[in-house]
């Protein structure tokens, strides 16, 4: 389990409480996964909300996904973006990839292909770093998806925008990818 700093966990907890997501005691990430598999998204949101309080970045990413898609909670692209941003800034590869998607499609943020490219590139490097300790292959799959997304964006950028995108990618990787907090 990857964790948030205590300050970030507190911010997330306050965001969850103020967003109306119920937080119950004695829950865990795996209970959320079980609920997800049963398509009980309300329960998944409740369980992952609790797991987020202990700093679980995977739960934070999953909760953001539920918010983005209105699964078990009211659809809220802004909340999803904010939650992904917290996890992405903590070095979470899948959240970095989701930020790229948000910027590419303009979900919860103005559309920006240069920034999408930067976050996709950061997700690739984070996934490579995290794959070293991931026997399940999940991080490798995230890296592959981010690579596909990056290549699709690259084809849409003109030369000046691609240069800006590469610079942003480098900065994001330095800050949130290779040497993640």
In tens, the pLDDT along 91-115 reads: 999 999 999 999 999 999 999 999 9
Spell out where the chain has E strands: none
The predicted pLDDT at position 23 comes to 42
The predicted pLDDT at position 180 comes to 55
With contact defined as beta carbons under 8 Å apart, do 112 and 99 qualify?
no
Q: What are the Cα distances from residue 7, in Å, to 10, 11, 15, 86?
A: 5, 6, 12, 11
With contact defined as beta carbons under 8 Å apart, do 4 and 86 qualify?
yes
| Token representation of residue 151 | 């290549």
The predicted pLDDT at position 6 comes to 45
- Residues 6 or more apart whose CB falls under 8 angstroms from that of 41 comprise 35, 66, 71, 72, 73
Predicted confidence (pLDDT) at residue 84 exceeds the cutoff of 70: yes
With contact defined as beta carbons under 8 Å apart, do 72 and 48 qualify?
no
Q: What is the mean pLDDT of residues 166-177?
A: 95
**What's the CA gap between 131 and 32, in Å, rounded?**
23
Predicted confidence (pLDDT) at residue 9 exceeds the cutoff of 50: no
Predicted confidence (pLDDT) at residue 69 exceeds the cutoff of 80: yes
Report residue 3: phi and psi, to 5°. -125, 160
Q: In which residue are the tokens 């389990």 written?
A: 1
Average pLDDT, rounded, for the chain: 87
The predicted pLDDT at position 135 comes to 87
Determine which helix (DSSP H) or strand (DSSP E) holds 33, and give its type and residue range: helix 29-37
pLDDT band at 2 (very low <50, low <70, confident <90, very high): low
Predicted confidence (pLDDT) at residue 25 exceeds the cutoff of 80: no
The predicted pLDDT at position 28 comes to 73
For residue 56, what are the β-bridge partners? 3
Higher pLDDT, 98 or 10: 98
The predicted pLDDT at position 181 comes to 52
Higher pLDDT, 18 or 108: 108
Predicted confidence (pLDDT) at residue 153 exceeds the cutoff of 70: yes
Q: What percent of the chain has pLDDT above 90?
A: 76
**What's the CA gap between 133 and 65, in Å, rounded?**
24
| Full-model pTM | 0.83
């Amino acid at each position: 389990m990857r964790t948030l700093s205590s300050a970030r966990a507190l911010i997330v907890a306050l965001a969850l409480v103020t967003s109306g997501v119920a937080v119950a005691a004695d829950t865990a990430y795996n209970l959320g996964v079980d609920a997800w598999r049963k398509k009980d998204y309300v329960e998944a949101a409740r369980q992952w909300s609790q797991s987020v309080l202990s700093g679980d970045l995977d739960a934070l990413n999953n909760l953001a996904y539920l918010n983005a898609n209105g699964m078990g909670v009211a659809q809220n692209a802004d909340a999803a973006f904010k939650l992904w941003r917290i996890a992405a800034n903590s070095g979470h590869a899948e959240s970095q990839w989701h930020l790229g998607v948000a910027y590419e499609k303009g979900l919860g943020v103005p559309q920006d292909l240069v920034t999408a490219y930067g976050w996709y590139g950061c997700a690739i490097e984070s996934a490579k770093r995290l794959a070293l300790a991931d026997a399940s292959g999940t991080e490798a799959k995230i890296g592959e998806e981010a690579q596909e997304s990056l290549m699709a964006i690259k084809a849409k950028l003109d030369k000046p925008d691609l240069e800006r995108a590469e610079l942003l990618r480098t900065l994001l990787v330095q800050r949130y990818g290779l040497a993640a907090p």
